[in-house]
Amino acid sequence: MTAAVQTGVAGFLARYEALRYLLPGDPLQRAAAAEAFRRAGLPGATSGRREEAWKYTALRPVADASFLQSTVESAGDGTVLAQLPPLDAPRIVFIDGQFRPELSALPAAARFERFAHHGSFGALARPDSEPLVALNTMLSEDGALLSVEPEVDAGLLLLVSVASDGAAFHPRHDIHLRRGARMTLLELSVGDGCYLHNPVFEVRVGEGASLTHVRLQDESPAAFHLSTLYAQVAEGGSYDSFALNLGARITRTEAHARLAGAKGFTHLNGAQLLGGSQHADFTTVVRHDAPSCSSRQTVKNVLAGRAQGVFQGRIEVARAAQKTDGYQMNQALLLSPDAEIDTKPELEIFADDVKCSHGATVGELDADQLFYLRSRGIPDAEARSMLVRAFLAEALDAVTHQAVRGVLDRAVEGWWERQAA
Amino acid sequence: MLEIRGLSAAIEEKPILQGIDLTVPQGEVHAIMGPNGSGKSTLAYVLSGREDYVVTAGSVTFDGRDLLAMAPEERAVAGIFLAFQAPIELPGVGNANFLRTALNAVRRARGEPELDAVQFLRMARTETKRLAMPEDMLRRNVNVGFSGGEKKRNEVLQMSILRPRLAILDETDSGLDIDALKIVADGVNTLRGPEFSALVITHHQRLLDHLVPNRVHVLAGGRIVRSGGPELGHELEAKGYSGMVAEAA
């Protein structure tokens, strides 16, 4: 049986009290996280002082939503599999946060274990300073623990989350590529109805290893998708991520990447296509702790209706991180006078020999480009749509894996069809 | 075919065209020459429907239709084509996709069947070859990373594919070397016939040596100050604009 219970912070804490002796992993870490969450609450859910990190995003609707206490009955296998892209690759499928072996096809070249069986929290996540990470640490029940052995190329792997109405789940994922290993991870989040998907990722990229992480968030329009990722890159390693946010009522894509060894590299790229009253917040912190590393963040937003996009990008360069090359760009195309973008770049530099730049552009479609297309006979509406697609295509070009790019292109087409409907 | 009567136009309340009268009969190529700032490009933009120019007086008809009441895309499907002086770059839009979308928009409006990708590419490859353009120009983004000459040739390629009934060439010769100039002139010459007219805007006689006009008009101060046969271009080259404008005043 399922029943609605208390909402907001009290509701989550009540769930913790009910489950605490059943949850995997170190109970002391859970208890500390619960205490941190009790103190911090959900950012912006109550009036009063707003934390700087949550300046533009308030989780009041999350606090007001009621989620079901026990795991809901999940959709049949056929419906779930039909939603997956037709890729010839192993897949790890979670439904409402629970691993589903019968829907999964485990990878041969990467080792997979369930968080539910091990409950090991990594050292990168910070429940003490991030309220959503505290919530996750308090309530996480399952997740994917993935590791790739040295010099192994694990190829493409899908990590799928399917959610149903009323669910609230807090997956805990840990991804570890050892020295020289490689993997392309396509993360796909979909669902129906109002639910909360609050994953935490801890990613370790070993020396000379390379992880490409493509994240397609195509959640239900009533859902909340709040993800926090921590990545640490060793010498000569590369963490290359691209997040495409299409769905959800409120999205927070928060990524912390630390370049811990020399000549490391990270991309935290993304695109957000929002309409209606969607709100999506893309927050990144790149920490350069070693010399000769480079980082890139290019985030493009297409905002229609009353949608609100947020980009907060912070680059920190430690004293030791000489020859740092950092770049950050946020671009927004506003398709409606009621759409809004808030952008906040921050640079904090303690080394003296660095190259760091940031920029932001906000605009409507270019009048010269529009006229050029129309002067060739292309009707106004079609010309506008071509230019918006072109703006996005430039962002998607960051995804070089052909099959994965195809999945993103189809998802974008689906977004257009929904907008037209 | 094209009838311009007393046309005056302004941009940001600054008058540029001050009463232009010009008729281009079907099948003829007319050249418009004139010094910088005389209003040549403004005339081209007003005819193709750019919205930031405001027509303050006069009329323009094309095949008897009120051209000024038509949207830019309606003018294009009616058969008007502007070759831009500074072609616009479209990052993220593939040239082949752009050309096919434009061609099919025009064909749709004319009640002709659309071309599929295979039919289109066969046609586009023939045209690129004829214009001595590298085939990869179809694969690249529209005008992005093109040299000045490649951009101008890309305009002529669009014209060859869209087959307009009135082409307006706005300084298509500027920035071209002699070989490219010949290719561009040949591109226009192959379209010439009883169904094709052109308004060729240029500073120099050079293009007109290859693309001999039926008439030459001199535009100065927003008005046509002289009209004549092809010999007028040579006279201009000898006297310069200042001499001719002074004579006309």
SS (H, E, C) B98-166: HHHHHHHHHHHHCCCCCCCHHHHHHHHHHHHHHCCCCHHHHCCEECCCCCHHHHHHHHHHHHHHHCCCE
Please give the Cα distance from B140 to B85 (Å, whole number): 20
Chain A contact for B90 (CB, 8 A cutoff): yes
CB spacing of B98 vs A382 below 8 angstroms: no
Residue type, A194: C
Please state whether beta strands A153-163 and A182-191 pair in parallel, antiparallel, or not at all (unpaired).
parallel
CB B207 within 8 A of CB B33: no
pLDDT one-digit tens code per residue, B103-120: 999 999 889 999 999 999
Token pair 């974008």 is found at A412
pLDDT one-digit tens code per residue, B172-183: 888 888 888 888
Predicted confidence at residue B203, as pLDDT, reads 85
> Any idea what the Cα angle at residue B25 is, between residues B19 and B26, rounded to 5°?
140
CB A87 within 8 A of CB A93: no
B45, B48, B73: which to substitute to probe chain A, counting the most A Cβ within 10 Å?
B73
CATH classification of the domain holding B228: 3.40.50.300
Q: Could you tell me the residue range of the domain that residue B214 belongs to?
A: 2-248
In a domain, A115, yes or no: yes
pLDDT one-digit tens code per residue, B42-83: 999 999 999 999 999 999 999 999 999 999 999 999 999 999
Three-state DSSP at B85 gives: coil
Q: Residue A295: pLDDT above 60? A: yes
Confidence of residue B23 (pLDDT cuts 50, 70, 90): very high
Chain A contact for B67 (CB, 8 A cutoff): no
pLDDT one-digit tens code per residue, A155-202: 999 999 999 999 999 999 999 999 999 999 999 999 999 999 999 999
Predicted confidence at residue A2, as pLDDT, reads 47
CB spacing of B102 vs A387 below 8 angstroms: no
In a domain, A361, yes or no: no
Predicted confidence at residue A77, as pLDDT, reads 61
Chain A contact for B214 (CB, 8 A cutoff): no
* First-last CA distance in chain B: 30
Q: Which helix (H) or strand (E) holds A12?
A: helix A8-19
pLDDT one-digit tens code per residue, A367-396: 999 999 999 999 998 999 899 989 998 889
| A254 and A374 fall within a common domain | no
Q: Residue A143: pLDDT above 60? A: yes
Sign of CA dihedral A376, A379, A380, A382: negative
CB B165 within 8 A of CB B197: yes
pLDDT one-digit tens code per residue, A305-329: 999 999 999 999 999 999 999 999 9
User: What percent of chain B stands above pLDDT 90?
Assistant: 72
Predicted confidence at residue B130, as pLDDT, reads 86
Contacts of B92 in chain A (CB under 8 A): 389-394
CB B89 within 8 A of CB B142: yes
Please give the Cα distance from A137 to A121 (Å, whole number): 8
CB B143 within 8 A of CB B154: yes
Please give the Cα distance from A125 to A118 (Å, whole number): 17
Domain boundary among A226, A261, A296: A261
Contacts of A372 in chain B (CB under 8 A): 84, 87-88, 90
Burial label for B16, CB within 10 Å (0-12, 13-18, 19+), is buried
Nearest to B99 by CA among B85, B115, B113, B84: B115
Predicted confidence at residue A1, as pLDDT, reads 41
CB A317 within 8 A of CB A286: no
Lowest-confidence range among A54-63, A126-135, A357-366, B157-166?
A357-366
Domain boundary among A261, A282, A317: A261
Q: What average pLDDT is seen over chain A?
A: 93
Confidence of residue B242 (pLDDT cuts 50, 70, 90): confident
Predicted confidence at residue A76, as pLDDT, reads 59
Domain count, chain A: 2
Give, as one character, the DSSP assignment of residue B211.
S
Give, as one character, the DSSP assignment of residue A101.
G
Chain B closest-CA separation from residue A142 CA (Å): 41
Dihedral of the CA atoms A393, A397, A398, A400 (nearest 10)?
140
Chain A contact for B146 (CB, 8 A cutoff): no
Confidence of residue A49 (pLDDT cuts 50, 70, 90): low
Closest by Cβ to B73, choosing from A377, A392, A394: A377
Total CB pairs under 8 A between chain A and B: 72
Long-range contacts at B98-102 (CB < 8 A, ≥ 24 apart):
B98/A373, B98/A376, B98/A386, B98/B142, B99/B124, B99/B138, B99/B157, B99/B158, B99/B161, B100/B124, B101/A378, B101/A382, B101/A386, B102/A373, B102/A376, B102/A377, B102/A378, B102/B76, B102/B158, B102/B161, B102/B162
| A197 and A55 fall within a common domain | yes
> Average pLDDT, stretch A91-112?
95
Chain A contact for B41 (CB, 8 A cutoff): no
Domain boundary among A261, A285, A314: A261
CB spacing of B49 vs A369 below 8 angstroms: no
CB spacing of A380 vs B92 below 8 angstroms: no
In a domain, A284, yes or no: no
CA distances from B85 to A14, A195, A376, B153, B244 (A): 69, 55, 15, 12, 25
Closest by Cβ to A378, choosing from B48, B88, B105: B105
Chain A contact for B246 (CB, 8 A cutoff): no
Nearest to A225 by CA among A210, A239, A215: A215
Closest by Cβ to B101, choosing from A367, A368, A378: A378
Q: Could you tell me the residue range of the domain that residue A185 belongs to?
A: 8-261
Chain B contact for A381 (CB, 8 A cutoff): no
Q: Which helix (H) or strand (E) holds A63?
A: helix A60-64
Residue of B nearest to A381 (CA): B73
Please state whether beta strands A144-148 and A111-114 pair in parallel, antiparallel, or not at all (unpaired).
antiparallel
Q: Residue A75: pLDDT above 70? A: no
Chain A contact for B135 (CB, 8 A cutoff): no
Lowest-confidence range among A1-5, B129-133, B218-222, B243-247?
A1-5
Residue type, B151: K
Global pTM value: 0.84
Chain B contact for A29 (CB, 8 A cutoff): no
Chain A contact for B163 (CB, 8 A cutoff): no
Q: What average pLDDT is seen over chain B?
A: 92
Token pair 């552009």 is found at A361
Q: Which helix (H) or strand (E) holds A280?
A: strand A279-288
Token pair 């703006």 is found at A391
Q: Which residue has the higher pLDDT, B181 or A279?
A: A279
A369, A373, A397: which to substitute to probe chain B, counting the most B Cβ within 10 Å?
A373
Domain count, chain B: 1
Q: Could you give phi then psi for residue A130, rounded to 5 degrees?
A: -120, 110
Predicted confidence at residue A40, as pLDDT, reads 93
Q: Residue A272: pLDDT above 80? A: yes
Token pair 């190259």 is found at A355
Phi-psi region of A74 (alpha: psi -120 to 50; beta: other; left: phi over 0): beta
In a domain, A276, yes or no: no
